[in-house]
Amino acid sequence: MVVFGRKCPACGGKNLIDRSPNSWLATLPTARSCACANCHQQLVLLATFAIGVEQRRFPRLQLPSFFLVRIPATNQYARIKNISEGGLCFDLDYNALPLTRRSLRLDLYNCNDGSSLEQIPAEIVATSEQIVENNGFKTTVLNNCARFVNLNQAQRKVLANCLVQYAI
């Protein structure tokens, strides 16, 4: 995704923070590697263009609000921000029990009918804090990004069918 100007291609935000280069494009002498402070999209500024750097192999999708991620190790529920066949991002309350390991098993839980896709092996690849305002109250949440690892064929098929059926 490419946009004209120094703004995020994903959300249009102009609050950019520097990060270390991790793509071949960012190693060019006139390039600057950044991330959006609002949506955490990685991008490269090249002259007057902002180029989004996407590391996912599958498109990001939104699930309805009745889908949650359940962390069986701590018996916590978290809101899913976005999901793809390769991973997901979810918000965890700041006061919730911290995730003690980078590798864990997650359940995708459908609150409407009580069904779930259980024991999905995942690895946390990034965590960041964000202040969210809800009904006039500010709350700190932890944004966790995880990638699915070693999914078997049945899990891949059920996940793909779930995304086709429910994704917005």
pLDDT at residue number 102: 82
pLDDT at residue number 68: 92
Q: What is the mean pLDDT of residues 68-77?
A: 86
Q: Name the pTM for this structure.
A: 0.67
First-to-last C-alpha distance (Å) of the chain: 20
Domain segments of the chain as ranges: 2-52, 67-166
Tell me the pLDDT tens digit for each residue of 98-152.
777 888 899 999 888 888 888 899 998 878 777 778 788 888 888 888 889 999 9
What is the pLDDT confidence band of residue 26, given thresholds at 50, 70 and 90?
low
Q: What is the mean pLDDT of residues 73-96?
A: 86
What distance in Å separates the CA atoms of residue 69 and residue 22, rounded to the nearest whole number?
29
CATH assignment of 67-166, given 2.40.10.220, 3.30.200.20, 3.30.70.1290, 3.30.1280.10?
2.40.10.220
* Torsional sign, CA 71, 126, 56, 121: negative
